[in-house]
Each structure stands twice: as C-alpha cells, then as structure tokens.
Structure 1
C-alpha cells in the first residue's frame, strides 16, 4: 500500500508515472494537469497534436471528457459490452476535454481497463489517467521492468508495481462512430 501512496502522491504533484497495463508498461499522469501531460509528451518525444488515450476504472470516470450524448444509441452496446477490457474507443470529446489530451481532434480515445493494477490506481486516484506506451515515439513498447527502469526510470516520478496482463499487443483502438479499427 505504501507504493500506491507514493504513486498517488506523484500524480497529485504533477509527476509522470509508469504502470503495468494489459500488454505493456504505460506512462501516465493526471489528464487535467497540462504541465504533467507536456512532461509526459517530452519524455516520449511525441507531438501534442497526436492526442492521448485516457484509461479509467469505470465509464463514469470518463464522462467529463466524453460527449456522452453524441454517442449514437446503436453503438453504445458494442462499446460498453467491450469494457472493462482491452479495446480503446475513439468517442466524441466533450467541450471541456483538454486540448493537450485530444490534440488536433474533436474526439478522445478512452478505455475502461480490466487490469487490476489500473483499476486500483484509477479508483484510488478518483479519475482517469493518461495512458500511452512507455517508450520513445516510434520505438517498441516496453514489456520488461528492468528495461523500463534502465531506459526511463530517471525521467519518472514513480513506477507502480505489478505484473503485465496477458495480452500480447497494446489495446486495439476503434472509432465508435465509423466502426473503423484505428490501431489493431
């Protein structure tokens, strides 16, 4: 529990953390803290225009970022029946969703994770976290904790302990409106 408290403190202080997800280690921070998000993007060497995924313990944590009323009724079952799970959905963004999360888009990618560590972290923090693979942009995602420590450890405020889930690939990303697969 002490490790969880350190990670939560790092998040509250605007730090960038790493944590295990379904398939790879993720980098995360408070999505409402612009300086934290920009620090995360600097670590990854990723442009803000590309947008970021939010990961949550439940859909209600995402409601302030998603324009729920703009999700077509016919698409809702497919989205919500896939969660908690390993699919991220691109949904219409709310007017209050930060541009440093949505990037150049009027949509936002979100996922309700079934990973117990992600569930614990988002529940304890009380909100979603930014979720992007722990690696430099264009490099392979990190699946080994030693590699994570060696390559990014000095740039992170904390690392949440725990095993990776059993998935072999990062989450699939699907566009909720078109049904297109954005990332398989």
Structure 2
C-alpha cells in the first residue's frame, strides 16, 4: 500500500481505477471513482460488503453529485452546503446497483473535510465513501490502523491518503432528503 499526502498522486491513482483509504469527518473511508464499476466492485470485495447495502458518495460541491441524483430534484440550501449530514436522495435511473444497493435512492454528502474536498476538487468528481474496515471489524481511525487491518489480507486498498480525520466521534447523521427524517443519528 502506498501512503501519501500528495493529493495529485492519489487523484491519479483513483483515475486509473484504484481504491484508496482516506480520512473523513470521523473515521477513515474506502473510496474510488463511482463511475468505474470494476473499482466499485473491488472496493466491495476489499471490505467484504454486500452490494445490496449501497454506498455513500461524497463531494466538495453538490454539483459533482447531481449526475447521480434524480434529474428533477430540488435540494435545499442545507443539503448543498458542506456539513456533517449525509442525505438520501432519489437516485438517477442510470445509477448502478453497485452504488445504490437494492434501493432507488443514493446517499450523498458535501464533505467538510479539507483533504477530501481538495481530492474531489482535483478529480472534479465525487468519490465513493464507506468506512475503511473489513465488514464486522472496527472502523479505522488512522493511517496506521488501516495498515494494521489490511496488512494480512489478500485484498487491500492501493493507497492511503495520509492525514487526520475531522475529529468527529461518531459517523455522520443520515437523513432522508425528502422527508427530513433521521435514518441514523450521529
């Protein structure tokens, strides 16, 4: 696994189909290009995550997320601002079940994390986000914990974007974008 603080190096790896680990608001995440379905499948394989559950997309700007969401949606100012809330919107009909799972919706967030914002800006794209851990294991809170968790596994991320998490103690709150109902508390 490559460990790097170089945003451009990590962005290039993602553009080439790589899967990375990176710091988010609370824990390290696993990510890749959401348009590269073989990379998404590899991410699911690394994590041992059933595709039916779906994934989150995070971006530096809500406009990066729009191609993945229903074309007629009207997002509120709160939903398009960087925050620690993940919103579940109706997905565009073209979004792969590898991303949305068995749902007709897709979870998205405009992240506040500065490194992830910089990475999404470099890509001009959202990235997939799911906790960096093998399903059932504790989420990783540091570069070292990612290295430790994946060192003996045949499947592992290609690289780690080295940096601190945002210091949030719990995963982001998840809300339904239409009703505002809280689906997961932070």
TM over 0.5: yes
- 1:32 partnered with 2:23: no
SS of residue paired to 2:122: helix
Corresponding residue number in structure 2 for 1:91: 89
Note if contact 1:64-1:96 (Cα within 8 Å) is conserved in structure 2.
Answer: no
Specify the SS of the correspondent of 1:141: coil
8 Å contact kept, 2:132–2:146: yes
Give 3-state SS (helix, strand or coil) of 2:121's partner: helix
Alignment check: 8 A CA contact 2:143 2:163 kept: no
Q: 1:166 corresponds to which residue?
A: 167
For the aligned residue pairs, the C-alpha RMSD in angstroms reads 1.7
Structure 2 residue 138 is matched with structure 1 residue 140: yes
Q: Is the 8 A contact 1:68 1:92 kept in 2?
A: no
Q: Distance in 2 between matches of 1:131 and 1:30?
A: 10
Distance 1:78 1:66 in 2: 17
* Map of 2:51 onto structure 1: 48
- Greater helix proportion: 1
Residue 79 of structure 1 corresponds to: 79
Number of residue pairs the alignment of both structures matches: 179
Q: Deviations over 1:52-92 (max 9, x none)?
A: 00000000000100115234xxx724423xx2011000001
Q: Structure 2: which 5+ runs fail to align? A: none
Q: In structure 2, what is the Cα distance between the partners aligned to 1:98 and 1:160?
A: 26
1:4 CA displacement: 1.9
The CA deviation string for residues 15-69 of structure 1, in whole angstroms up to 9 with x for no partner, is 1101111110010000011110111001111111111000000000001001152
- 1:156 is the counterpart of 2:157: yes
1:113 aligns with 2:111: yes
- Quick check: 1:25–1:143 contact (8 Å CA) kept in 2? yes
Give the distance between the partners of 2:150 and 2:9, measured in 1 at CA. Answer: 18
Gaps of at least 5 residues in structure 1 are none
